[in-house]
Chains A and B, each alone.
Chain A
Amino acid sequence: MMFRHLVGAAVAAVFAVVGLSGAAQAGATLDAIKKKGFIQCGVNTGLAGFSVADSQGAWTGLDVDICKAIAAAVFGDANAVKYTPTNAQQRFTALTSGEVDILSRNTTWTLTRDASLGMMFTGVTYYDGQGFMVPKSAKIKSAKELKGATVCVQTGTTTELNLADFARANKLNIKPVVFESLEESKVAFFGGRCKAYTTDASGLASIRSKDAPNPDDYLILPELISKEPLGPAVRRDDVEWFTLVKWVLYALGEAEESGITSANVNEMKSSADPNIQRLLGALGDMGQKLGVDNAWAFNAIKQVGNYGEIFERNVGQKTPLHLARGLNATWKNGGLMYAMPVR
């Protein structure tokens, strides 16, 4: 009835108990995925550029494309994905209880999550940091000026913790207003209840571009107060599945480093470079080693594109988010994206 949240929490607990009661075995997740023919992918409820559904229910975004690339690697079909929108709070239960196979939802890789929540991070798809957004009219230039200010924040996030650390370290006495859903926190912030809204800088760019009544009225402050390496995570019950996801991410990065794009991947398959041949499955048995088809990376790149393409298409300079590559450029271009050798 009305105490939906309480019931929701109780249901989550029951799911956790029942889900955790299922027996675990090696290769369980990957085998089950192959059997059912699609990947159940946990995404955001709606964060433009990362995961958002259009009016037809088709999902797009950087986090969505990661799931598509994995589906292409496993099934040769980037559309063999079903999406489960999760809010900040439900996401880990959704993953560990088996409701989703992979959580690809602007989730920060931290020690606690990696070591004690029953999940493993497979890599980083977006290097980010936590920032603040304020109305320009407030004439705030730096986060350090937020002394005594009310700040809207969403529960179940690293954001909430970092905010506390930052306020404590700088003696700012910030008053947080904590929301369960992104939707209500946006209503409160744009309604003027809070002087600032805080989350990952990429999230701020997304919210400003899509939800602000007038994006130009809002300023994202220059300081980033934390490291937020965002990446997909899987359950701690299947090392094969974990390894596969990890290597699909590397393959997307490697493709960018070697200049392979969705447009030229066919020609590249007959490249003289054995590294490229190996990646695209023309040489060796890399796919078999991962337990999937040898054309795994070829399919992922052809159907979804390399990491650079995914980035530019969803969050890059030509999108409303206008995010620069920055830390997310390849290491050759001064960024942090570095793919392990496929050999």
Chain B
Amino acid sequence: MADQDRTIHVPPRPSPWNDPKIRAIIYQIVLIAGVVALGVFLVSNTLTNLQQRQIRTGYGFLDQEAGFFIGETLIPYEAASSYGRAFLVGLLNTLKVSVIGVVLATILGTIIGIARLSQNWIVRRLSSAYVETLRNIPLLLHLFFWYAALTNLLPDTERAANLGLNIFLSKEGLRYPWPEVEPAHIWALTALPFGIAGAVAFSKWAHARQMKTGRQIPLLWPSLAIILGVPLVVWLVGGAPAQFEIPEKTNFGHDGGAAVTPEFMALILGLVTYTASFIAEIVRAGILAVSWGQSEAAGALGLRRGPTLRLVVLPQALRVIIPPMTSQFLNLTKNSSLAVAIGYPDLVSVANTTLNQTGQAIECISLIMAVYLTVSLSIAGAMNWYNRRIALVER
């Protein structure tokens, strides 16, 4: 930017037309006017033509009866439910895949990323081969591969494999017993956040104590015990109901209990193995970004390899890792929309069905876009918050 003092010394002021500052402003105005005009033109023309072709518009259809079934739902839904509810079912299915996918991809990706730096030759080679093959195959092919593999290799529904404990595996997917809903279960779930809060408090206390006395208190097991213990106690007080709904044999396989469908499995397998190959590279880059001197210093202080990685390298690596990781989480979430190709009823799948039944193309697509935008911005927001939290704090 032009420096105020300097402009005063520049001899004659150029004419307004030649003044770069004024010009820049004029360009901006022209550009904005153009964009707005284009928008107005498209919208108004679309509206007129929609009217001419008698295509009805508006979101009123969301209250109408959907009339179609959805193969797997997290909330009660039937054909008589509304389109709005069908969208919600699709959204929850998308979130389910995304959350589970992000967690698993992060775990797998981190393991492989660290393995690529292993001192063991075979481990190093294998993980490199994993990364180089998987990230170079289009995701859609991953999905088709897993889906074809699952539908062809799993046993027929009539001959479902009994894995014990009433867990059955067949072309229908994995069916397993599921606790019948009791008030005690709901209370136990409500207690879970308190357990987590308890664990956080415990770790704060342990940290403070370590600062004071220098004594290290093991964190992992007590924390887990608090997180799970609180709901467990609530459940025991609630009478410890342990009625399980057990999958029953029907004419065509099994019904009842809970199920993981082959569509879901294939989608998770595809998304996780694919995204993990990118995450592995990010993790590797992050670790390599921490200078070797840090590890040497830690070694000189007598820290072993595990604690060195956990306490010295990873916290610094995370600062490099988090921003590109955010993109991978966003990618995974958006890529989950490929679900429709292998029959998993995600948001896009449900919206597509709705679109074709109601003809409300613009409305349905706008809903899809709004949802993905919201989800993406939420993920980005959360990750940015975390990134700021772990950023280098000058003490």
Identify the A interface with B (CB < 8 A).
2-6, 9-10, 12-13, 16-18, 20-24, 88-89, 92-93, 96, 112-113, 115-118, 138, 145-150, 152, 155-157, 160-161, 163-165, 167-168, 174-181, 184-185, 187-188, 191-193, 195, 235-237
Contacts and interface: CB of A to CB of B under 8 A. Distances in A.
A152 B172 CA distance: 12
Given A24-B49, A92-B359, A193-B151, A115 B54 contact: yes
Contacts of A156: 352-353, 355-356
Nearest to B338: A5
A149 B49 contact: no
B157 interface: yes
B55 interface: yes
Interface residues of B, number: 65
Interface string B318-348: 0000000000000100110110111101001
Nearest to A192: B171
B251 A147 contact: yes
A187 B50 contact: no
Contact of A193 (B52, B67, B262, B368): B262
29 contacts: A2-B139, A9-B348, A9-B368, A13-B361, A17-B362, A20-B45, A20-B49, A21-B45, A22-B45, A23-B49, A112-B357, A117-B55, A118-B359, A145-B251, A149-B251, A156-B355, A160-B353, A161-B67, A164-B67, A164-B68, A165-B67, A165-B79, A176-B69, A181-B341, A184-B144, A184-B342, A185-B343, A191-B151, A192-B151
Contacts of B359: 92, 112-113, 116-118
A179 B298 CA distance: 55
B157 A195 contact: yes
B252 A118 contact: no
B42 interface: yes
A9 B54 CA distance: 22
A7 to B, nearest CB: 9
Contacts of A89: 352, 355-356
A167 B341 contact: no
B263 interface: yes
B140 interface: yes
Contacts of A146: 252
B4 to A, nearest CB: 46
B48 to A, nearest CB: 9
